Chains A and B, each alone.
Chain A
Amino acid sequence: MVTVESAGISDVGIKRESNEDRIVIDDAQGLYVVADGMGGHHAGEVASELVVKSICDFLGDSGSWNAAARPPGRLSPRAERLLAGIDWSNQVVHQTATEHDAYRGMGSTVAAVYFSEDTLIAANVGDSPIYLVRNDKIDLLSVPHTLLADLPVDAPVPFMGNILTRAVGSKSAVEAYICELNCFKGDILVICSDGLSTKVTPAEILAITTAQPPATACRALVDLANQRGGDDNISAVVLRVTGVRRNPSSFFGKWVDRMKQRLTSIAT
């Protein structure tokens, strides 16, 4: 069991009239999502809304999750499930975009963190980053799907380098980046839209999120991005892992667990 203290803000920013970002904070499912929609007028809002809704519906439509029921795949069952959810949201957005002229070409990024028993799964499409803060270091758990990121490291920065090379809904199929890692108490995760990540550096995110609890850190991040122009919608989800309880499966681990229980029963 991973327990998480969570907070999230989606802010319209200063320059835009509407908010095309959507966030999901679902502690019951252990699911946290940021989607940044794009497309003319309201289409961006529709795309990001469809993404979060369809992913939540898909992952919530569970039945008892039985890892053994799945054929051995290339990922863990829960990671496969998240990928299937993103795949489904892609189909929903793509279909809506093809059915309605006003929505043609719309799409959305998705950046999702999904907790399992003792791991965290990070998946993304597009340029909404997922950061992991651990051991006073900040690392990226997502891969930016932009023209810029696809170029060799030493190539000159091209004009319009952050045009997305992948988005949810722009094609009939999408391949998300996914990684799964062990979770530790004290880990901090930050999921955001590019409205935040283009204004606030990773070093600043590291400093802000380690200094204060998620709720105030979230506010501070969004305020900072707004102070620096607020050119785009700004969304931030900050998660702090407050505990990871692993199943003790070694003989010694079980023994220690029994001893702990006995001690607490004596103490009470």
Chain B
Amino acid sequence: MPNITLKFKDNVLSRHFIGRGQSLTIGRRKDNDIVIENLAVSGHHAKIDSVGESFVLVDLQSKNGSFVNEQLVSSHWLKDGDLVSIGKHLLVFSTADGASAAAAPAEIDKTMLMDTSNYRSMVQKSAAALPKPLLRQEDASGYLAYLSGGHGKLDLSNKLIKIGKDPTSEIVVKGLFVGGTAATISRRPDGYYLSCAGGFSKPRVNDQTVKKSVMLQDLDVIAIGSVKLQFFIKDLSTARSS
């Protein structure tokens, strides 16, 4: 299957399949098939079209140009292994058949039958067995607000939030005994959890020292080193219905 691998400094960022009759657009703006978030890349920078058996790269009069194997091109017929440079990103074109394990599909000689009564009891059993998420993902989102040691608030997404002395932490905390990452906050299916991560100064939630991890409740107060934060949960479902 022909595909394009987007790389940045040897790191694979994403891979995109391109089939016959398809085209892929490349650019900085979100409506492209391959989005490259870099100011050196034009909004709509280039595209790859399928022509017959082959694929052609066309530069869309981009500001900084498109390069194939270090040659500036306005259009180029892609060959296996071609390296397309756009800004500082690299796109590798491959015709590899590696993923086409489906060489000779077996005939389907029977249709799937569902044993409905069995099915229904399984459904009920699995409903009882699975812990229900307390808050549905789309219905709630949490945020942190500083009580002391800083100001403003921080919305919590699915990203792991790091709290600690390391300057790259989302919440930077001062203190001799505070770890580079002292605590983290993660979003799990049933809510937000604060975990202790390292260092000698342990995080506290409502004045209770956290040794491993604890689920955060609305209005919980988190204290680490010089920083005190309050956790809030916005229940979007009640906000919508009221």
Is there an interface contact between A231 and B122, defined as CB atoms closer than 8 Å?
A: yes
Among the 9-residue stretches A1-9, A138-146, A259-267, the one with 4 or more Cβ atoms under 8 Å from chain B is A138-146
Cross-chain contact B159 with A184 (CB below 8 angstroms):
no
Given A118-B197, A157-B127, A102 and B105 touching (CB < 8 A)?
Answer: yes
- 23 contacts across the A-B interface (CB closer than 8 A): A40-B108, A41-B106, A41-B109, A57-B99, A71-B37, A79-B160, A95-B1, A96-B102, A101-B105, A103-B102, A119-B160, A134-B212, A138-B131, A139-B131, A143-B137, A159-B123, A184-B195, A202-B131, A246-B197, A249-B166, A250-B165, A250-B178, A253-B200
Which chain A positions have C-beta within 8 A of B132? Answer: 153
Contact with B along A59-91 (1 / 0, CB 8 A): 001111110011101111001010010011001
Does B239 have its Cβ within 8 Å of any Cβ on chain A?
Answer: no
A57 to B196, CA, bound (A): 34
- The CA-CA distance from A139 to B190 in the complex, in Å, is 9
Most buried by A among B5, B122, B124: B122
Question: Which of these, B110, B126, B165, B184, contacts A162 with CB under 8 Å?
Answer: B126
Partner-binding segment picked from A27-35, A46-54, A107-115, A214-222: A46-54
Chain A interfacial residues counted at CB < 8 A: 79
Please name all residues of chain B whose beta carbon is closer than 8 Å to the beta carbon of A63 when the two chains form the complex. Answer: 7, 9-12
Interchain CA distance A251-B101 in the complex, whole Å = 53
- A91 to B14, alpha carbons, bound, how many Å? 11
Which residues of B in the span 1-39 have a Cβ within 8 Å of any Cβ on A?
A: 1, 5, 7-17, 19, 37-38
CB distance from B120 to the nearest CB of A (A): 6
Alpha-carbon gap, A142 to B131, bound state (A):
11
List chain B residues, Cβ under 8 A from A179: 158, 186-189
A139 touches B11 (CB 8 A): no
Asked if A49 contacts B120 (CB within 8 A), the reply is no
Interface residues of B in 125-140 (CB under 8 A from A): 125-127, 129-133, 137
Contact A197 B12 (CB under 8 A): no
Q: Which residues on B sit within 8 Å (CB–CB) of A100?
A: 102, 105
> Is A268 an interface position by the 8 A CB rule?
no
Is B242 part of the contact surface with A, judged by Cβ < 8 Å? no
A207 within 8 A of B: no
CB distance from A224 to the nearest CB of B (A): 13
Complex contact B137–A102 (CB within 8 A): no
A181 lies within 8 A of B108 (CB): no
The reply to whether A249 and B180 form a contact with Cβ atoms under 8 Å apart is yes
In whole angstroms, how far apart are the Cα atoms of A24 and B68 in the complex?
Answer: 37
Q: Mark A226-245, 1 if CB is under 8 A from B, else 0.
A: 00000100000000000000
Contact assessment for B12 and A61 in the assembled complex, using a CB-CB cutoff below 8 Å:
yes
Is B184 touching A74 in the complex (CB atoms < 8 A)?
no
B100 within 8 A of A: yes
- For the complex formed, measure the closest distance between the CB of A111 and the CB atoms of chain B, giving whole angstroms: 13
A250, B179: Cβ atoms under 8 Å?
Answer: yes
Beta-carbon contact of A252 and B12 below 8 Å:
no
A140 to chain B, nearest CB (A): 5
Closest to A130 in B: B189
| A70/B11 contact (C-beta < 8 A), A141-B188, A179-B158 known | yes
Q: Is the CB of B106 within 8 A of A42?
A: yes
Task: Choose among A43, A91, A253 the residue that contacts B16 (Cβ–Cβ < 8 A).
Answer: A91
B195 cross-chain contacts in A, Cβ below 8 A: 181-182, 184
Complex: how many Å from CA A88 to CA B16?
7
Judge if B118 is at the interface, Cβ distance under 8 Å: yes
- Quick one: which of B94-115 are within 8 Å of A by CB? 98-102, 105-112, 114
A223 within 8 Å of B (CB atoms): no
CB A149 to nearest CB in B, in angstroms, measures: 8
Within 8 Å CB of A91, what residues of B?
15-17
Taking a contact as CB atoms under 8 Å apart, the answer to whether A180 and B186 are in contact is: yes
Min distance, Cβ A135 to any Cβ of chain B, angstroms: 6
